[in-house]
């Protein structure tokens, strides 16, 4: 067993709002009680209470893996509308004390499901960086709360005007 530290940090927070899991167009989990585990440089993982997951569509498999920071994970296969995705869901039944908040909760591999946060489409959810947006909004003082974002385009050269640019295909001969 390893303990999370500054070289391998693990943080656990509550996800704000509601998080839904969509599998093949169907909701398979929907909860306002979601835990987000952030571990080292890995993407964040959403852990759902089983009460908020359609467990009737999940079947436990024999697969078990071991994480030195979290303990032993058991796996589930999703069975829904003729689709079968083996070992697409996992759970730490008895995790180590440092991550005890995830005990008995289930997590989904993001390559098999889509996540929605607060009713936003999966694409909108993936592109949201709420912290970045909040930092760049008006705090009420009339100014941004952070440095301005860098420009994503170069400014035009004031010494060049459009007529100075070479026309396309110049010297290419007849078209």
Q: Tell whether 112 is covered by a domain.
A: yes
Q: Tell whether 71 is covered by a domain.
A: yes
Q: Tell whether 28 is covered by a domain.
A: yes
SS3 category, 132: helix
Q: Tell whether 84 is covered by a domain.
A: yes
Between the alpha carbon of residue 109 and those of residues 52, 77, 161, the distances in Å are 17, 11, 52
Residues of the chain with pLDDT > 70, as a percent, come to 69
pLDDT at residue number 114: 94
Whether residue 148 is predicted with pLDDT greater than 70 in this model: the reply is: no
Whether residue 145 is predicted with pLDDT greater than 90 in this model: the reply is: no
Q: Tell whether 118 is covered by a domain.
A: yes
Read off the pLDDT of residues 105-141 as tens digits, 9 standing for 90 and up: 999 999 999 999 987 765 665 555 556 555 555 555 6
Q: The tokens 């860098």 sit on which residue?
A: 150
Q: Tell whether 154 is covered by a domain.
A: no
Whether residue 89 contacts residue 107, with contact meaning beta carbons closer than 8 Å, is answered with: yes
pLDDT at residue number 120: 75
Whether residue 161 is predicted with pLDDT greater than 90 in this model: the reply is: no
Q: Tell whether 146 is covered by a domain.
A: no
Residues of the chain with pLDDT > 90, as a percent, come to 65
CATH number of the domain to which 52 belongs: 2.170.150.40
pTM recorded for the entire structure: 0.70
Total of domains in the chain: 1
pLDDT at residue number 1: 87
Q: Tell whether 168 is covered by a domain.
A: no
Whether residue 165 is predicted with pLDDT greater than 60 in this model: the reply is: no
> What is the pLDDT of the chain when averaged over all its residues?
84
Q: Which domain covers residue 56, as residue numbers?
A: 10-134
């Amino acid at each position: 067993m390893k303990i999370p530290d500054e070289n391998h940090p693990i943080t656990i927070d509550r996800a704000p709002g509601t998080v839904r899991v969509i599998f093949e167009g169907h909701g398979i989990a929907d909860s306002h009680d979601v835990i987000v585990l952030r571990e080292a440089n890995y993407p964040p993982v959403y852990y759902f209470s089983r009460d908020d997951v359609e467990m009737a569509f999940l079947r436990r498999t024999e697969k078990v893996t071991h994480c030195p920071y979290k303990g032993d994970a058991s796996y589930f296969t999703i069975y829904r509308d003729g689709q079968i995705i083996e070992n697409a869901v996992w759970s730490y039944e008895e995790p180590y004390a440092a991550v005890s908040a995830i005990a008995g909760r289930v997590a989904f591999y993001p390559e098999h499901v889509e996540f929605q946060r607060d009713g936003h489409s999966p694409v909108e959810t993936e592109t949201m960086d709420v912290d970045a947006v909040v930092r760049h909004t008006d705090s009420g003082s009339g100014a941004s709360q952070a440095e301005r974002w860098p420009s994503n385009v170069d400014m035009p050269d004031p010494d060049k005007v459009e007529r100075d640019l070479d026309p396309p295909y110049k010297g290419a001969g007849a078209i």
